[in-house]
Amino acid sequence: MAKPIDLNKIFSLLDEQPSKEKDHFLFLLGTDTVFTSRPTLGLADLSEAEQKSYERGETLSYSAQAIVQLLDEESEAEIGAKGEPLSYSSPSVDVLNGPTTLGSEVGERVAQGVFLALRAAANGKKTLQMPAHSRGAVEALMIINELARIKKKLKEEPGLSLYQILCQAPTTEDNTGIAKAITGSNSPFKEANETPEQRQALLARLDNLALNPFLIDPVPGGSKYYLKFLRWSSPRFYEQPQCNDYELLLKQHERTCCFSPIIPKGMQPLTIPGHHGTASGNRYNQQGVAVPESIEDRDTTTVQDLVLCKLFAFLNRCTGNRFGTEQAVKLEHKELDGVLNDFLRQDESGRNAELLKHYNAVIKNIQAFTWFQDGSYARLGAQYAKEKQRFVHLHGHNHMPMEAAVPALHQDFINQEHALLYLRGYIRFGKRAEDSLAGMIADITEALDETIGKMFDGSMKEKEKESARRSASSLNFDCIGLLNLLEKEEGRKIFFDGLGILIETLSQRYLRNNLSKEEDLALRNIIEKPFRIIQEAKKAIAEQKDFSEEYTSLIYQFDDFIQKGFKRTVETHYASIIQQVDDLKAQIDHLLNPPEHFYQVFQKFVAGLPDSEVPKELTEIKGYLSKINSSRIQNIDDIYHILEEALAPFKDSIPKETLEVITAHISSKQSELLQPCFDTHQTSTNTYLINLERLYHLAITLRKDYRAQQSLLSNEIIDINLNQLSFRIDALINAGGILLKERKIDLLEKPDCISETFFSLIKQEAIKLGAPSPELEALKRHVEEQARLLEELREQNKGLLEKGKEQQSTIEEKDAQIQKQVETHKEELLGLNRQIADALELNKQLQRNLVNLIGENEEKLSSLKETIENQAEEIKRLQKQNADALKDRDLIVRLQSSEEDEKTVLIHTKLLPLTDTYLNRLLQQAQKYQPELRLNEDGTLAEVQEPESASAKQAYDKIIIKLKAVINLRLILRNKDERPLASERAQAFGDELLIANEHFKTHRDGAWTHFFNRSAILLGLLITLPYSALTGKRNPLFFLTHTHGEAFVDDCAKELGLDPAVSA
């Protein structure tokens, strides 16, 4: 594996130089999708059906290889081994294969994605782009959420290891299995050798890592009775991702059951035509069938071209135009290479033109994409809202029609981006337009205002208008160019459609999101401004009688268009709220039904299975199911197990085709009758509460803003029944109360998933419906407790009164006894007082005696102490005297030894004469430069001035250094006070001689060398001569081979009157 999971690697990367390449790309492929390096068409090892998968190439696999080539990392890229999740990798690109249909691997994929993201951060990367499809896109969201959780833990709990933090991935209402994947017995995740400082360094790198997901149809999977584990669920899907930039693409024509995409909070999606796999490169329908030839324009590959260019536009936006105009891609994908290279070679305006070209190609073939909505993936069947709209999970686990989240498909534009690309040709967008959709609409509105102003400007001549027409190719038109567009019927239609889709998109955000007061006011002003401009223009037309009829018609047309569009948006929002509330209320009622309800549903399901023109095995299954006793069915899981039981005998005994027919019939009826029941019981109570509050806020906001919205429309009436809206608001509160009551939720503690305000409302409703009020119950318990305590006090008081009477008589008797005892005690006390007085007098006498004794003892102790101290001093003196005598005796013995005699002779007859000779020579050399130089009487060097000449001073200094060293050597030999023993003086002389020789190694001369060698021979004589005589070899303390140095030493020995060394 190119990047094996090892947490130690993350921390080792922190200690290395950061990567020079600052951008990283993590691709997460969709369900059942593996890295596909080449187009599948014509590959010999694939079946005919498999060759249809990606005839031009799989989009994300191609993009990963293209980036590797553009980054010049091809030589370092690796294709993973078969079965490995990391299927393709380079230093800056990673591709993770998608999970299987059942999705059991999603936890492992998320865990590995987190590791790769941490690795990229530790390596010094500054941006992480995450192109992802299907479940891979959901994995990308989970990775972003995990990275946010990890950063929070690193900040708040710095003592936890990275492994411990990873193991704490949430599991409540989350079946992702991240923690399980990390802690499993075969998991490669292990504790690392790390320090708190390294973890903080990792945190710093993570804080500097920009996260940029590009999400294509993020579908986590739903639930089917025979594919129970398809559903991947987590409340974290819907949290607002902490990312720097994003794209969220939803496929418009996918209708398969279990294929509802998620829309997290804070994300505004774009719709793209096609089914779930179209953007990946599948030009056929979900089951590999080609678009019929009866549809004239049927090139469905146009969506792949569009998504590919959108992806690289996004990557350039996030990386500072990392992929420039000079770069080109050359892979084994002829068509995709051409599309991408045509896009990359353009400048920014040219790339916008390319995107617009691809959008126009898609809308030209829109009928082919619409044909896809009549199909679905095998076995799962179709599921959709009215008018074949796709269901989406908007900000939570719910089933909303797609138009509730994004504008419906307009005739001229696919989505708001398509409209904006077109309008860029006629409107100058400023900086604010780059930051938000609201900024774009504000710019368009200002352009519209200026254009209408020109309509009223009588000074605009036909010549100016013609000039504006001629400049129509510049993509930088002013308001006159926009006016030219509006003068044509086709241009008018397109402009109104484009502005309409943008206002509708912003209106949806305004209507469907809980905004702050500031955001609410800002968005409302932007939405209202076009209406105000048109109203003011209509007033001005009424006052200006000679105003152009053509312009009048244009303004009224636009007024009619935006009013109807806004009316449609608000009414659609209203209808969506009503439908969602009714569906949610029905689900909650269904959830709380008694067990017999499930048997009734099961009976309807069995009765609905067909009897004629079906395989005989289905008839047998129906007969078996009709005999099931009601006692066996208590919940939806019982129905699931019974269906499995009924199908089991036929799974291996009949042809596959027959089994698929039987399954299709069962699937059809279960979608109608069992699926709603199954979905209801797969949803948690918290999810129901979240959806109740979400719809409550939407309904309240719509009711509150209705009058302001209606005031924008002068010609249209927004068809909303406020009474019905109020009924639904009450129904939501009622459903919440029922849920709290029937689920026996503790009313004292607010669930974390809802606000305090909404909880208070449904709590009161639950109490109205019969749930015990916690406050009232607490009060009742308090009153009962107080009553019990009062009764206990009464009983205790009664007993105390009776006891009091008994104790009174006893007290009187005891009082008489006590009086007698008191008299007796008084007499005894007088006697004791007399005894105490006598004792005190005696004590005083004893105290006086004690003081006298203490004084006498102190005098004796002081005298004794002085005597002891004197004796101790005498003992010390005698001990020291004895030690000194021992030392002197030892010294005398050593001085009288033959060794000391030899060393004394050596010093006086050899070393001192040799040293004096060399000392006198050095002194004479120094006196050449300073004649006044003399030795003091104690043998030290007298202080004199140094020579003035620089060259003389340099030579003089070198001589003085040696002179001082030799004087020191001479003093060592002569100083018997410091070293009485001749052997010690000889030893000290030798040690100092070696130090001086090492010190003079940079400026030794022949005289010094001569002195050093002669002295060394003398000092080593007692070792060298016996060793040589005994072994016949030269002493290894000196030289290993006979060299010129040895010859010199032999000469020195002869000069000293010694025999030369034995030859080696």
Chain-centre distance for alpha carbon 996: 66
Question: Are residue 880 and residue 928 in the same domain, yes or no?
Answer: no
Q: What is the mean predicted confidence (pLDDT) over 1019-1028? A: 50
Domain identity same for 691 and 545: no
pLDDT at 148 over 60: yes
pLDDT of residue 799: 85
- Give the residue, 552 or 335, on which the prediction is more confident: 335
Q: Are 222 and 257 in contact (CB under 8 A)?
A: yes
Q: Would the pTM count as exceeding 0.75?
A: no
Rounded CA-CA distance 478/664 in Å is 59
CA distances from 440 to 134, 350, 376, 436, 446 (A): 30, 20, 37, 7, 10
For residues 219 and 280, is the Cβ–Cβ distance under 8 A? no
554: amino acid identity, one letter: L
Q: Are 27 and 315 in contact, with CB atoms under 8 Å apart?
A: no
**Does position 126 have pLDDT exceeding 80, yes or no?**
yes
Domain shared by 860 and 962, yes or no: no
Strand, coil or helix: 948: coil
CB count in 10 Å sphere of residue 796 = 10
With respect to residue 205, please indicate whether it lies within any of the assigned structural domains: no
What's phi and psi for 151, nearest 5 deg?
-60, -40
Range of the domain at 285: 25-102+122-138+211-394
Q: How far apart are CA 304 and CA 509, in angstroms?
A: 28
Within this chain, do residues 337 and 446 fall inside the same structural domain, yes or no? no
CB of 24 closer than 8 Å to CB of 92: yes
599 and 617 inside one domain: yes
Shared-domain flag, residues 722 and 837: no
Measured distance CA(935)–CA(927) in Å, rounded = 11
CA-closest candidate to residue 259, choices 101, 151, 114: 101
pLDDT at 384: 59
Q: Look at residue 6 and tell me if it is in a domain.
A: no
Burial of 875 (0-12, 13-18, 19+ CB in 10 A): exposed
Q: Is residue 203 part of a domain?
A: no
For residues 92 and 69, is the Cβ–Cβ distance under 8 A? no
pLDDT of residue 545: 75
Please state, in angstroms and rounded to a whole number, the distance separating the CA atoms of residues 791 and 74. 90
Q: Which residue has the higher pLDDT, 283 or 173?
A: 283
CA 496, CA 34: separation in Å to the nearest integer?
44
- pLDDT, tens only, 867-925: 888 888 888 888 888 777 777 777 777 777 888 888 898 998 989 999 999 889 988 98
Q: Is residue 745 part of a domain?
A: yes
652, 683, 714: which is the final residue of a domain? 683
Place 224 in a pLDDT band, splitting at 50, 70 and 90: low
**DSSP H helical ranges for 208-347:** 301-319, 334-344
Residue 716: HSE in the Cβ half-sphere, 13 Å Cα cutoff: 21
Confidence check: pLDDT of 945 > 90 = no
* Whether residues 785 and 856 fall in one domain: yes
Helix, strand, or coil (residue 71):
coil
Q: Are 674 and 690 in a shared domain? A: no
> What number is the average pLDDT over the span 200-229?
83
Residue 411 has pLDDT above 70, yes or no: no
Residues 6+ apart with CB under 8 A from 1060: 1050, 1053, 1054
CB atoms within 10 A of CB 249: 25
Q: Select from 683, 701, 734 the last residue of a domain.
A: 683
Mean pLDDT of 204-213: 96
Q: Are 118 and 202 in contact (CB under 8 A)?
A: yes
Same domain, 745 and 599: no
* Domain count across the chain: 6
Please report which confidence band the pLDDT of residue 160 belongs to, taking 50, 70 and 90 as the band edges.
very high
Task: Indicate the residue among 848, 880, 896 that finishes a domain.
Answer: 896
Give the pLDDT of residue 242.
93
> Which pLDDT score, from 0 to 100, does residue 507 have?
65
Residues 227 and 310 in one domain: yes
Residue with tokens 């209406």: 531
Q: Pick the closest to residue 758 from 668, 657, 689 (CA basis).
A: 689
Torsion (CA) 906, 910, 916, 919 in degrees, nearest 10: -100
Q: pLDDT tens digits for 692-716?
A: 998 898 899 889 888 888 887 877 8
797 found inside a domain: yes
Mean pLDDT value of segment 452-469: 55
Q: Got the DSSP string for 665-710?
A: HHHHHIIIIIHHHHHHHHS-HHHHHHHHHHHHHHHHHHHHHHHHHH
Q: Does 658 map to a domain? A: yes
Quickly count: other Cβ atoms within 10 Å of residue 681's Cβ. Answer: 15
- Let me know: does 1 contact 81? Beta carbons within 8 Å: yes
Res 1029 pLDDT > 50: no
Q: How far apart are the first and last CA of the chain?
A: 64
pLDDT value of position 430:
56
DSSP 8-state secondary structure symbol assigned to residue 26? E
pLDDT digits (tens, 9 = 90+) for 561-606: 778 878 888 888 888 888 888 888 888 887 787 878 878 888 888 8
Amino acid in the structure at residue 600? Q
Q: Are residues 846 and 977 in the same domain?
A: no
Asked if residue 169 belongs to a domain, the reply is no
Within a domain: 16:
no
Q: What percent of the chain clears pLDDT 70, i.e. is strictly above it?
A: 83
- Of 756, 738, 750, 758, give the one whose Cα is nearest residue 697: 758
| pLDDT at residue 470 is higher than 50 | no
Same domain for 614 and 728? no
Q: How confident is the model at residue 67 (pLDDT cuts 50, 70, 90)?
A: very high
pLDDT per position as a tens digit, 878-893: 888 877 777 777 777 7
pLDDT in tens, 15-49: 999 999 999 999 999 988 999 999 998 888 888 88
